[in-house]
Structure 1
Amino acid sequence: MKVLLVDDESAMVDALERGLTAEGFVTEAAMNGIDGLWMAEENDFDVIILDIMLPGLSGYEVCRRLRAGGSTVPILMLTAKDGEFDEADALDLGADDFLSKPFSFVVLLARLRALLRRAPVDREPMLTAGSIRLDPASRRCWRGEDEVALTTREFSLAEFMIRRKGNVLSRNTIAEHVWNSELDIDSNVVEVYIGYLRRKLDDGRTRGVIETVRGIGYRLIETVEGKNDAASSI
């Protein structure tokens, strides 16, 4: 999942980027409110972590403008302040949750996953596509009754695709959301991981769950166990 982090504390940004990357998130950062607002408006993020005290534009104003413009992306507001009025202001302006500094990374991670589960577009507590089930909270995956062991990157790829099941996803789109914007899109990293995921999810079954759309990308499809359709290959 793709996270926008807007905070002017470089040490915190670096620490959060390292931690979120290790958990399978793709993170982009802005160090002031003006850049943060522009990035949020011009790019597709799954969740935004937004500090209140920012140069240029405050987190309050960034949040207000995003909601006024129709954005529904989940926003987790960060504040170094204590006080119920700051929290109330954040929620009144459209933030989905708040966290006071200093905070535990474990708590931040739990809050992010909770926001992703209840966000308005394809954010069910248990994600499903036919016989495939994914639990974002526990990071577990099943096909039918069989649990499938996935690496962190494989799970992120499966989660991204299942949230957009039925849609054709280009290699560029997958790379931007599951890796980071610096990934060389001419490399075969996406193809390699699609192959890993396909083998684990199919595991000898005749019905494949990931279709290759020639010249465009890939599509995760609804599956019904027992169908005798051949899986696509890379």
Structure 2
Amino acid sequence: MTRTPADRASLSLHDLPASERPRERLLRLGAEALTNAELLALILRTGSQQDSVVHLAERVLARIGGLHGLLGVRQADLMDLHGLGETKRTQLLATAELARRLSTITPHDQPVVRKAEDAVGLVQDMAYLVQEHVRVLLLDSGGRVVAISTIYIGTLNASVVRVAEVYREAIARNCPALILAHNHPSGDSAPSPEDVELTRALAAAGDLLDIKFVDHLIVARGGWTSLRESNLGF
């Protein structure tokens, strides 16, 4: 059936076939497959009585001059746009500010890990978590932090970490080095025999994958331990 512009404007996302909804398309095809309007629609979340959220997103982009205009958008630019209330304006303005900040980031703004203490400073918050968390710090060839990912949240007393899971994102992002960090909610950063055994397995896997396993850090309220500096598992 051919829809007129008026028909299209009155549709909500739930009126669209599941295969055409932005959220379902993103989950199925990845974010890169969506149009600018569809991505903006996911931020706005809902449309109005007159417009579907996708159509509303199209009108916003037309008003601000396309995606590039998002970097310079001001609240005044959005005030009289029908269907865009205070909540949606703040969502857009927050998104615009994040985009502006992202556009100013250079590699020199990324933290650099030259020693264990540098990495500990990036994950020190884990010391106060009541469950055991495992994070991977991905590094580029210069030691700059590319990403920090939580790969496991476990029980208070134990964590089970698969070697493949630790290296998965490093392989996907083509990162040459990584650091593993986890916390001991008990407050004692002393490595357990299991921690040492995991370190040994990860170091061996890194050698096979040609990805440098830089360190395994344990942080706790009572301090922190570098297994490399302690010569445990390396």
TM-score, with length taken from structure 1: 0.31
The structure whose RCO (Cα within 8 Å, separation 6+) is larger is: 1
Task: Name the larger-Rg structure.
Answer: 2
TM-score under structure 2 length normalisation: 0.31
**Structure whose residues are more often strand by fraction:** 1
**Counting helix residues as a fraction of each chain, which structure ranks higher?**
2
